[in-house]
Amino acid sequence: MTDVWNEIETAAEKADGGLFIKLKDGESINLVFLGAPHPIETAFVDGKTVPFTEELARRGVKSQTRVRMNVWRIDDGGGVGILELAVGFFKKVILCRKKYGDERFANSVFTLTRTGEKMNTKYDVLYDRDLNAEQKAVRDSLKLLPLERPDDDDEKHLAAVAEVFAAVSAVKNAASAPVAAPVQSFAPPAAADPFEQRGGVTRDQLIVLARTLPREAVLDALNRGGWKKFSDIPDNQLQAVYDSLTGDSLFA
C-alpha cells in the first residue's frame, strides 16, 4: 500500500506554487484579484515576518501592517492562492482598482512583477487584459481561501486544498458541469460496481485530491476497485473514483 503514498508524494513534488504567491527578482505572474483584502498585523523578528502578539508588544517590538488578498493564478494552472504584500506595495493594487473601477478591476487580468531583493524589492501591478465569458464562469466557481494567518501545519493543509480547488475548477471548465468541493468523508457503496464511466477528471487531479483526504478513505476506494495504486485505475473509471472521494458520488 505504500505505492499509493509514493505516487501522492511524487504528484505533490510536481504541484506548483503552494498557497502563497512568491516571486523572485525579475519574475512576473498574471493574476485575477478575488474577494476583499484582509489586513494582518505582523512583526519582523530574527529575520522573519511573524504574527504580531501581545508578548511582542510588551517587548517593544513594533508592528507592521501587511495586506492579504485571494488571487487566481489564471495562466500557470496554480488555481487560487494568497497574495501578501506590505501596505506600501498594496497601494499599487488600490490604484489599479481606482483607475479601472470596481467592475472592470474584478473582471480583468493584472500582471504582478517583482524587481530587486530584500530592502530594494519593488512590485509593479499592470493591467493585462479583460476576462472572457468562459474565464468569468470559472472565476465565479472558485472557492476563496481563509486569509487569517495559519500556523505552519495549517498552511501546508491549505496549500493542498488550493491545489484541489484548481483541479475542480479545471474539471468544471472542461465539462461545464458542477463538481462538489472536496470533503473529508467517504460514503459506503450502494452498488456492486459503482465505478462506471463518468469522464472528465485526470489521473493527476485524482492524486492531488487524494493527498488531502484521510489515508483510510483513499485505500478503501482503491481496495473496492481491486487496485493497489492509482496507475492501476482504468482511464474510464477515474471520474467515478474522484466523485466518490469528493462526495459527488454514485453512492446513495
- Cα separation values, 129 from 90, 111, 140, Å: 20, 9, 18
Residue 14 CA, distance from chain mean position: 14
- Higher-pLDDT residue of 145 and 214 is 145
Phi, psi of 216 (to 5 degrees): -65, -40
What pLDDT does residue 251 have?
32
What pLDDT does residue 157 have?
45
Q: pLDDT tens across 30-69, in order?
A: 999 999 999 988 888 887 778 888 888 888 888 888 999 9
Q: pLDDT tens across 172-231, in order?
A: 455 444 444 444 433 333 333 333 334 467 777 777 677 666 677 777 777 778 887 777
> Structural domain boundaries of the chain?
2-10+176-246, 20-144
CATH class of 20-144: mainly beta
Mind giving me the DSSP string for 138-187? HHHHPPPPP-SPP-HHHHHHHHHHHHHHHHHHHHHHHH-S--PPP-S--P
